[in-house]
Amino acid sequence: MATSTPLTSNKHLLGWVDEMVTMCQPDSVVFCDGSEEERKRLTEFAVSKGILIPLNQEKHPGSYLHRSNPNDVARVEHLTFICTPKKEDAGPTNNWMAPDAAYTKLRGLFEGSMKGRTMYVIPYVMGPLGSEHSKIGIEVTDSVYVVLNMQIMTRMGKAALEMLGEGDNFNRGLHCTGDVNPDRRYICHFPQDNTIWSFGSGYGGNALLGKKCLSLRIGSYLGKSEGWLAEHMLILGVEDPDGTKTYVAAAFPSACGKTNFAMMIPPRRFAGWRVFTVGDDIAWLRVGDDGRLWAVNPENGYFGVAPGTNMKSNPNAMKTISKNTIFTNVAVTKDGEVWWEGLDGEVPEELTDWKGQPWKKGSTEKAAHPNSRFTAPAANNPILSSHVNDPRGVPISAIIFGGRRSTTIPLVMQSFNWAHGVYLGSTMASETTAAATGATGVVRRDPMAMLPFAGYNVADYFQHWLNMQKRVPYPPKIFMVNWFRKTKEGKFLWPGFGDNMRVLKWILDRAHGKVGAQETLFGWVPKQGHIDLSGLDIAPETVDEATHIDDGEWKAELEDQKNFFDQFGERMPKTLELIRQQLLSRLS
Ligand code: OXD
Ligand code: MN
């Protein structure tokens, strides 16, 4: 068997790779060094095999299109398993398999699965190099598409091996695309072994193991044991005209505008204000020596949703994807330019759709898949924070929870205290999107936007959040937002996008104790006139409607929260149920 130079003498790593080779039986093994030369070589190889299709290199320098198998376009929550020794430790919201049973079942699939293929060994770091926040992973995969995406999304190659040295503390990630058969597709996490086995999918969230699998599912488990939080949150910094920088972290479910918020351009009214992106999807939060909560973004790139991205919704994302980007399942014009629903300009008369089929304007089919994606380096982002590689991370002054809710949830609300903030996060709900397979537009509880990503019992995760209060002497303030509330006629009440800066400004002012607020039964809301609407063509009554609290809707909401809490039985923290009951009693 042909094997490239291992680039390391780490016996734990080499021993484990040997085991994987014995099981998967690849024809050759390539240890990835993360170099530019390697990227070029593997890109050429991927092009020669039709795995990547070069785009118009004048319009999209260094960028390529990938078309996935049409049955493999999103995360598969029903095929994702948390394999803890006890079922209760995975909890009622996760699929569970006993570790032995899962290893046995998947070994049956992995055995001989890489015959005739190359096994790539990808050493990578999640988090800034040399940071005590960071974690090392090794992913072995048969997919060159995964290697090229991991090179964008992580700090990968020699630097990771240097950081690992001779140590044994790394995540062991095994991935094989197999025959992309949904009946033989499993994404299994073994938190107690710091191990991930993923079979049968090439889709980002299922196959780029550093992202959801390590940074969130295994990460949340490590966070609980080690006293920190791994969260599905963007991180952004705001600089005011005096040069003061404030950082916030915000959790939204998949495809609810995290990337747009993280790359926001403030409206003209906010001249002199600047927003910087630290991360658009994941935050690891730890208590700093100064007693504040500090955050790092473990990722090094963006795996963003393409449809709806345009020069109005997110000009910085458009610049970020202007070069060296891998597009997955978007449509292309006859000139080799990318296209998706919601892109600026006229809809082209003819396209090649995401499946590679001819498409005509007016077709009822979408040209780009609703969950089509771009993978782009963070370094391309014109407003990238200068602290993304800072080993300490950035200090967080506010945490924001938000869902996609047509009704009930007001535009913005501040929690009374930490425990009430945890309650707001724990009862978050959102209408489902195309980021996961299944029906879209159905309201489901998605606590802290972590429902698909918690690597252990969500009740214990809530308790861990509550316990964090004792560890953080200077905690961030906690807020809830909803950009998606609609009128009875179905029109959005709030313009969203850059205008979210107006809400963010109130949040920053509250975090700094600069502005008052109105107490309601459910939390603090802005006093009339405290959300700056200047330059915005929106009636104050519309904002009132967006911030309105309807007793009837809230009664139904609180009752539904009970059903969610009840499934956790005795493990559910009493504190959160008591807060719910107290709110309900005040309402009646
Ligand atoms: C993502 C997701 O890809 O949440 O970030 O699905
Ligand atoms: Mn996400």
Helix and strand numbers, DSSP H then E, in the chain: 16, 32
The helix or strand, by DSSP H or E, that contains position 377, with its residue range, turns out to be strand 373-377
Q: Which residue CA neighbors atom 1 of ligand 1 most closely?
A: 254
In a domain, 580, yes or no: no
Report how far residue 425's alpha carbon sits from residue 459's, in angstroms, rounded to the nearest whole number.
13
Q: State the residue for tokens 């089919």.
A: 365
Report how far residue 24's alpha carbon sits from residue 110's, in angstroms, rounded to the nearest whole number.
6
pLDDT at 267: 95
At 309 the three-state DSSP class reads coil
Q: Which domain holds residue 152?
A: 2-51+75-227
Report how far residue 428's alpha carbon sits from residue 444's, in angstroms, rounded to the nearest whole number.
9
Q: Among the three residues 380, 406, 427, which one is the final residue of a domain in this structure? A: 380
For residue 305, give the ligand nearest its CA: 1
Same domain, 474 and 376: no
Cβ proximity of 522 and 554 under 8 Å: yes
Mutation choice for ligand 1 from 212, 329, 430, CB with most ligand atoms inside 8 A: 212
Report how far residue 420's alpha carbon sits from residue 578's, in angstroms, rounded to the nearest whole number.
10
Q: Among the three residues 380, 408, 441, which one is the final residue of a domain in this structure? A: 380
pLDDT at 517: 96
In a domain, 82, yes or no: yes
pLDDT at 308: 96
In a domain, 93, yes or no: yes
Distance 211 CA to ligand 2 centre (A): 9
Same domain, 234 and 204: no
The helix or strand, by DSSP H or E, that contains position 181, with its residue range, turns out to be none
* pLDDT tens digits in sequence order for the chain, 588 residues long: 888 888 999 999 999 999 999 999 999 999 999 999 999 999 999 999 999 999 999 999 999 999 999 999 989 999 999 999 999 999 999 999 999 999 999 999 999 999 999 999 999 999 999 999 999 999 999 999 999 999 999 999 999 999 999 999 999 999 999 999 999 999 999 999 999 999 999 999 999 999 999 999 999 999 999 999 999 999 999 999 999 999 999 999 988 889 999 999 999 999 999 999 999 999 999 999 999 999 999 999 999 999 999 999 999 999 999 999 999 999 999 999 999 999 999 999 999 999 999 999 999 999 999 999 999 999 999 999 999 999 999 999 999 999 999 999 999 999 999 999 999 999 999 988 877 777 777 889 999 999 999 999 999 999 999 999 999 999 999 999 999 999 999 999 999 999 999 999 999 999 999 999 999 999 999 998 899 999 999 988 898 899 999 999 999 999 999 999 999 999 999 999 999 999 999 987
**Residue 360, domain CATH:** 2.170.8.10
Of all atoms in ligand 1, which is nearest to the CA of residue 452?
Answer: 4
Mutation choice for ligand 1 from 68, 152, 214, 281, CB with most ligand atoms inside 8 A: 281
Backbone φ, ψ for residue 197 (5° rounding): -125, 120
The helix or strand, by DSSP H or E, that contains position 540, with its residue range, turns out to be helix 540-547
In a domain, 584, yes or no: no
Same domain, 283 and 346: no
**Residue 142, domain CATH:** 3.40.449.10
pLDDT at 3: 87
Which residues are known to be catalytic? 256
Same domain, 452 and 536: yes
In a domain, 204, yes or no: yes
Same domain, 406 and 525: yes
Of all atoms in ligand 1, which is nearest to the CA of residue 435?
Answer: 6
Distance 260 CA to ligand 1 centre (A): 13
pLDDT at 155: 98
Enter the tokens of residue 166.
């001779």
pLDDT at 32: 98
Enter the tokens of residue 105.
């079942």
Q: Among the three residues 380, 395, 417, which one is the final residue of a domain in this structure? A: 380
Distance 436 CA to ligand 1 centre (A): 8
Same domain, 255 and 199: no
Report how far residue 529's alpha carbon sits from residue 141's, in angstroms, rounded to the nearest whole number.
55
Residues with CB under 6 A from ligand 1: 75, 205, 254, 281, 303, 435
Distance 292 CA to ligand 1 centre (A): 28
Same domain, 206 and 270: no
Distance 211 CA to ligand 1 centre (A): 9
Q: Which residue CA neighbors atom 2 of ligand 1 most closely?
A: 254
pLDDT at 442: 81
In the chain, the number of structural domains is: 3
pLDDT at 441: 78
User: What sign for the dihedral angle of Cα 518, 524, 530, 533?
Assistant: negative
Q: Which residue CA neighbors atom 4 of ligand 1 most closely?
A: 254
pTM of the model: 0.97
Of all atoms in ligand 1, which is nearest to the CA of residue 205?
Answer: 3
Report how far residue 449's alpha carbon sits from residue 404's, in angstroms, rounded to the nearest whole number.
11
At 167 the three-state DSSP class reads coil
Enumerate residues with CB within 5 Å of ligand 2 (an ion): 254, 281
Same domain, 334 and 320: yes
**Residue 558, domain CATH:** 3.90.228.20
In a domain, 24, yes or no: yes
In a domain, 551, yes or no: yes
In a domain, 66, yes or no: no
Distance 571 CA to ligand 1 centre (A): 28
SS (H, E, C) 11-52: HHHHHHHHHHHHHHCCCEEEECCCCHHHHHHHHHHHHHCCCC
Same domain, 373 and 456: no
Counted residue by residue, the chain has a size of: 588
Backbone φ, ψ for residue 360 (5° rounding): -120, 145
Same domain, 272 and 179: no
Of all atoms in ligand 1, which is nearest to the CA of residue 281?
Answer: 5
Per-residue burial over 65-104, b if 16 or more Cβ lie within 10 Å, else e, is bbbbeeebbbbbbebbbbbbeeebbbbebbebbebeebbe
Eight-class DSSP state of 9: -
pLDDT at 338: 98
Same domain, 354 and 241: no
Same domain, 171 and 23: yes
Query: Between vectors from CA 78 to CA 425 and to CA 146, what angle results, nearest 5°?
Result: 90
Q: Which residue CA neighbors atom 3 of ligand 1 most closely?
A: 205
For the beta carbon of residue 50, count every other beta carbon within 10 angstroms: 9
